[in-house]
Amino acid sequence: MRLALFDLDHTLLPLDSDYSWGQFTVTIGWRDAETHTRANDAFYEQYKAGTLDIHEYIRFSVAPLAEHGVEKSDAAHRRFMEEVILPAMRPEAIELVFRHQVAGDEVLIVTATNEFVTRPIAQAFGVPELIAIELERDAAGNPTGGIKGTPSFREGKVARVEQWLASRGLSWADVTHSSFYSDSINDLPLLEKVTEPVATNPDPRLSAIATERGWRILNLFE
């Protein structure tokens, strides 16, 4: 097996889908603009700095989903896709994913953004295999604010890829070549695990490490 792994936000997308979804909930009146934006900005700065408490952030970010229910949440996400995500998808990113698929690689999106936000985005990229943060849900299907299983964040991305392989009766030893495209210092554990790490639109800290180690740097959106 050959694996081609992709981070999503600021890697395949020129935006952060989690942050953008939060701002979209303000636009549609689900959250107070000033209060939400202040908190959302603070969490985003923590993420960029590598200090984010993912459990605290998930409790914050999924609260509107439980409040408004599955049907309204799904309808809002369809609007989000049409108004925010689809216009932001770049041909360069779509083509990169497609090239790996044509080459016969098993393509996965591996993201720290939750599955509610990202599953339709992965589908829009033509990628059926998604590793994302899975949300705990109540009997009605509403998120509780908890995380189901291991969060696909930092070293958790390595663990979740290993779980994905194990579910197919495989391990890293069965992977003849693996690549991982990411922009973020948070993804250093998985970048160090694969055969070919690709610092894609990298943040300054990842760019410095990639340069020092001779990793490929891809500025996809130039």
* Inter-residue long-range contacts of 177-181, CB under 8 Å, 24+ positions, other chains counted: 177/2, 177/3, 178/2, 178/3, 178/4, 178/5, 179/3, 179/4, 179/5, 179/100, 179/105, 180/5, 180/6, 180/7, 180/110, 181/4, 181/5, 181/6, 181/7, 181/11, 181/12, 181/96, 181/218
Q: What is the per-residue pLDDT across 38-61, written as a single tens digit (0 to 9) for each?
A: 998 999 899 888 899 999 999 999
Average per-residue pLDDT for the chain: 96
Residues known to be catalytic: 7, 9
Which residues lie closer than 8 Å to 166 by C-beta, 6 or more apart? none
User: 4-36: per-residue pLDDT in tens?
Assistant: 999 999 999 999 999 999 999 999 999 999 999
pLDDT tens, 146-160? 999 999 999 999 999
pLDDT in tens, 127-144: 999 999 999 999 989 999
pLDDT value at position 50? Answer: 84
Whether the predicted pLDDT of 188 surpasses 80: yes
Q: What does the radius of gyration of the chain's CA atoms come to, in whole angstroms?
A: 17
In this predicted model, what pLDDT tens digit does every residue of 63-84 receive, in sequence order? 999 899 999 999 999 999 999 9
132: nearest Cα among 160, 107, 106 = 160
User: How many CB atoms are located within 10 Å of the residue 71 CB?
Assistant: 9
Between strands 2-6 and 177-182, the pairing is parallel
The dihedrals phi and psi of 178, each to the nearest 5 degrees, come to -140, 135
Average pLDDT over residues 208-213: 98
